[in-house]
């Protein structure tokens, strides 16, 4: 049985992913910062575990990840101060990658966003700039590791129902089509065991193809 660790376990994507994996009979440990969220996480079928990744060392994260087969990073500062954004979305994320390597976890899924990268184009005076810079740095670091990584780049997140239909690597994003968080969770669950997704950055948004068919097209 695959043992998956989800970091940022009380986020909307992570809660949905926990439900999907647990319903599939998989063993899921979901890590989150606030002990008050334990019941919410447990209700998904995941094993809840309190871990403040922002303030945890690489060794502490590695110990938490030991005996898992895969990690999904779905944590984020949530638009706080630039300092905290860099601390969580860049620095803690990078520590988690090092920790995964140290603890023998081979598979690593990063939830990023569509358009992430050094050429993100976000002006420095924009409130999104710190997040864009942090994700660009974390994604680049992940690509340089020996982990079996996949980076997911969903479009702007919405709370609409996940219908399991997406467009992968859309050439034109000018119409502003977003991505249901439930669809992000479905894609994350799908790529966990999909070898063709290893070493790939997969950008997507809500669309017209069933997820399995859209991901098969990557081969």
What is the CATH T-level fold of the domain 3-216, as seen in this structure? Rossmann fold (3.40.50)
Label residue 36 by pLDDT band (50, 70, 90): very high
pLDDT of residue 1: 73
Flag whether pLDDT at 23 surpasses 80: yes
User: pLDDT of 160-200, one tens digit each?
Assistant: 888 999 999 887 777 778 999 999 999 999 999 999 999 99
User: pLDDT of 85-124, one tens digit each?
Assistant: 999 999 999 999 999 999 999 999 999 999 999 999 999 9
Give the containing element (helix H, strand E) for 98: helix 93-102
Pull the structure tokens for residue 212.
């399995």
User: pLDDT of 128-170, one tens digit each?
Assistant: 999 999 999 999 999 999 999 999 999 999 998 889 999 998 8
Q: What is the spatial distance between Cα 176 and Cα 189, in angstroms, rounded to a whole number?
A: 25
Q: For the chain, what are the domain ranges? A: 3-216
């Amino acid at each position: 049985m695959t043992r998956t660790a989800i970091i940022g376990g009380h986020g909307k994507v992570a809660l949905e992913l926990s439900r999907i994996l647990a319903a599939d009979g998989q063993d899921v440990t979901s890590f989150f910062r606030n002990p008050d969220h334990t019941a919410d996480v447990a209700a998904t079928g995941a094993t809840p575990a309190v871990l403040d990744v922002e303030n945890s060392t690489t060794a502490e994260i590695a110990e938490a990840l030991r005996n898992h087969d895969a990690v999904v990073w779905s944590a984020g500062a949530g638009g706080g101060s630039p300092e905290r954004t860099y601390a969580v979305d860049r620095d803690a994320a990078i520590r988690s990658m090092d920790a995964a390597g140290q603890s023998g976890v081979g598979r690593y899924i990063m939830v990023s966003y569509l358009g992430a990268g050094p050429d993100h184009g976000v002006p420095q005076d924009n409130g999104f700039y710190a997040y864009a810079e942090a994700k660009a740095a974390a994604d680049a670091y992940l690509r340089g590791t020996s982990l079996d990584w996949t980076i997911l780049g969903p479009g702007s997140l919405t709370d609409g129902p996940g219908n399991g239909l997406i467009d992968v690597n859309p050439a034109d994003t000018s119409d502003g089509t977003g991505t249901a968080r439930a669809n992000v969770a479905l894609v994350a669950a799908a790529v966990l065991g999909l070898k063709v997704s290893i070493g790939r950055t997969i950008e997507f948004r809500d669309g017209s193809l069933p997820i399995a068919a859209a991901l098969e097209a990557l081969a």
